[in-house]
Amino acid sequence: MDIKEQIAQGRCCLGIELGSTRIKAVLIGPDHAPVASGDHGWENRLEDGVWTYHMEDVWTGLQDAYAKLRADVKERYGVELTAMAAMGFSAMMHGYVALDKEDRLLVPFRTWRNTITGQAAQLLTERFQFNIPQRWSIAHLYQAILNGEDHVKDICYLTTLAGYVHYKLTGRRVMGVGEASGMFPIDSSTGDFHQAMVDSFDALVADKGYPWKLRDILPQVLSAGEDAGTLTAEGAKLLDPTGSLTPGIPLAPPEGDAGTGMAATNAVAPRTGNVSAGTSIFAMVVLEKPLSKVYTEIDVVTTPSGKDVAMVHCNNCTSDINAWIGLLRETLGLFGCNVSAGEVFTKLYQKSLEGEADCGGVLVYNYMAGEGITHLDAGRPLVVRKPDSHFSLANFMRSSVYAEIATMRLGMDILAEEHVKIDSMTGHGGIFKTPGVAQRYLAAACNASITCMETAGEGGPYGIALLAAFMDEHELPLEEFLRQRVFVHAKITTAQPDPAEVEGFARYLAAYDKGLDVERTAVEKI
């Protein structure tokens, strides 16, 4: 049976992820290979000191990405997309979506990027003896309580962006365990929110007299493959206003970009890891045993099947280099050159390979937002160099790509001190689209081989499509499903660390670490 017939018979699976700069839809066939895609560009907004997205933009973007996917299917295969075997939705992990009993948004969506919950995060970390980062939903909730925000008493449902989209499409208040682990700590023995910590939080806020307990407003936690509801008629019309999409399609539990990245890179088994690099960058390593102590730089979350994961999450990655690419394209425009952003990225990434291994003394700080790893509550993008630094285009670009990796490497050093074993590390996300550049630099930064798959640029949407497929094939554990049925014949490229580049990156990182005081001063003074 060819792919046209498989699409017509509704045997394919759909994954849609709401990333920080792009909403992307990927359709996969029964062999789990991508067959069509569509996307929609969008950007977060800084409004009243809060990073947010407008909810009307969520639906406009989802509809546009899906419409482009349908058009891609029609153009490639000459058939209408009306039904699927399963679908799934994912989004940027963490954040704060608070709804009242009428499903109205009580405050604008507060994204993972915000660093406005420092007091709450610290107090909860101390109380739970478990790291609660600023971006976690419970930190946002408790900070709102500490701030005396009036809306808290009216919360009926607290969720994330992925959970919100899933709820609107299915009517089910559920969440995949990986995404849930970025809301509130998970007890790995039960695969559910940690009950003792839930009780502790309820006791902490008991004097406020709220009409809810924490369990009342949190979603139900599900593991990969469990029933998460079906697409309602209203949900089908919301996603596809043309009315061609058939209701009743099963949906996978909604996941965050961390969980979908793990699925997309076959990194859900112990001692496997992946690096996801886009607007933010994070490294995930599936643990064999718990960490010896609490680290504020390390999140402990889970795989989509509930296994503990050490997560080194950095708020900043590509936003600053995107701004520079925009500036350079504007410069080219002055000379009548209309060059696409993709072409500029490719050429400049390749140009960076001509730079010195330590970037010639050129330092880039890509901090558009605050950064938990280096304990900064706000960001100031900077280029720093001495008068005798070798300031060339190649060194500047190489430093810009190094900067995307540097903060993550500082966090990975903690895992090295914990003697966390890693058998394989896979990269995915936008910075890996130009072959042989970011992958090579990451190998130097980690002093380890880095693998990228053919689907490296697809990342999260491909991962949630695979989790949707797992709904129909979950007689195997998730890790075996991925290993035996999805990636058994995967085309991969592997970059080995070059000793000279390992040494060069180490010199760069030492200078980068010392120069963080410049970034701190800029945050304080500018």
Number of neighbours of residue 340 by Cβ within 10 angstroms: 9
Q: Which two tokens stand for residue 348?
A: 């400049």
Separation of CA 231 from chain center: 24
Work out the angle between the directed axes of helices 393-417 and 499-514 (0-180°, nearest 10).
90
Question: What residue numbers bound the domain in which 334 lies?
Answer: 266-454+499-526
In a domain, 88, yes or no: no
pLDDT at 453: 81
Residue 16 carries which side chain, given as an amino acid letter? I
In a domain, 8, yes or no: no
Collapse the DSSP code of 356 into the 3-class scheme (helix H, G, I; strand E, B; otherwise coil) and give the result: coil
Query: CA separation (Å) from 170 to 87, 105, 244, 463?
Result: 11, 18, 17, 20
The CA distance from 507 to 397, in Å, is 17
**How many CA atoms lie within 13 Å of 63's alpha carbon, on the beta-carbon side?**
16
b vs e for 275-293, b when ≥16 Cβ sit within 10 Å of the residue's Cβ? bbbbbbbbbbbbbeeebee
Average pLDDT, integer, range 254-266: 92
In a domain, 144, yes or no: no
pLDDT at 481: 95
In a domain, 345, yes or no: yes
Average pLDDT, integer, range 336-358: 95
Collapse the DSSP code of 259 into the 3-class scheme (helix H, G, I; strand E, B; otherwise coil) and give the result: helix
Torsion of CA 132, 520, 502, 293, to 10 degrees: -30
pLDDT at 360: 98
Torsion of CA 445, 118, 193, 310, to 10 degrees: 10
Running DSSP on this structure, what letter comes out for residue 9? T
Q: Which residue has the tokens 């002055």?
A: 334
CATH of the domain at 440: 3.30.420.40
pLDDT at 455: 61
Residues making up the chain, counted from first to last: 526
Lowest-pLDDT range of 67-81, 110-124, 451-465: 451-465
- The torsion region of residue 360 among left (phi > 0), alpha (psi -120 to 50) and beta comes to left
Residue 408 has pLDDT above 60, yes or no: yes
Query: CA separation (Å) from 171 to 62, 153, 156?
Result: 17, 23, 14
pLDDT band at 452 (very low <50, low <70, confident <90, very high): confident
Average pLDDT, the chain: 94
pLDDT at 456: 54
Q: Which residue has the tokens 């990225």?
A: 345
CB–CB of 510/406 below 8 Å? no
Residue 14 has pLDDT above 70, yes or no: yes
Share of the chain above pLDDT 70, in %: 99
Quick one: CA dihedral 16, 13, 26, 83, positive or negative? negative
The CA distance from 119 to 115, in Å, is 10
Q: Which residues contact 508 (CB under 8 A, 6 or more apart)?
A: 357, 358, 359, 363, 399, 402, 406
Residue 327 has pLDDT above 90, yes or no: yes
155-202 residue pLDDT tens: 999 999 999 999 999 999 999 999 999 999 999 899 999 999 999 999
In a domain, 271, yes or no: yes
Query: CA separation (Å) from 520 to 313, 362, 381?
Result: 19, 18, 11
pTM of the prediction? 0.86
pLDDT band at 457 (very low <50, low <70, confident <90, very high): low
Torsion of CA 495, 384, 319, 425, to 10 degrees: 20
In a domain, 112, yes or no: no
Query: CA separation (Å) from 40 to 25, 64, 66, 324, 460?
Result: 9, 6, 9, 21, 15
Average pLDDT, integer, range 98-126: 96
The CA distance from 98 to 106, in Å, is 6
In a domain, 423, yes or no: yes
Residue 276 has pLDDT above 90, yes or no: no
pLDDT band at 277 (very low <50, low <70, confident <90, very high): confident
Please indicate whether residue 204 or residue 413 has the higher confidence score (pLDDT).
204
CB–CB of 261/458 below 8 Å? no
Query: CA separation (Å) from 368 to 15, 167, 349?
Result: 29, 32, 20
In a domain, 222, yes or no: no
Lowest-pLDDT range of 107-111, 271-275, 455-459: 455-459
Q: Which residue has the tokens 């493959």?
A: 225
CB–CB of 434/447 below 8 Å? no
Residue 477 has pLDDT above 80, yes or no: yes
Q: Please, what is the Cα angle at 20 between 170 and 59, to 5 degrees? A: 35
pLDDT band at 489 (very low <50, low <70, confident <90, very high): confident
Residue 385 has pLDDT above 90, yes or no: yes
Residue 232 carries which side chain, given as an amino acid letter? T
The CA distance from 124 to 119, in Å, is 9
The CA distance from 234 to 131, in Å, is 39
pLDDT at 104: 97
CB–CB of 379/523 below 8 Å? yes
pLDDT at 428: 80
Domain total in the chain: 1
- Residues facing residue 50 across a β-bridge: 47
**Pick from 194, 189, 79: nearest CA to 128:** 194
348-375 residue pLDDT tens: 999 999 999 999 999 999 999 899 889 8
36-95 residue pLDDT tens: 999 999 999 999 999 999 999 999 999 999 999 999 999 999 999 999 999 999 999 999
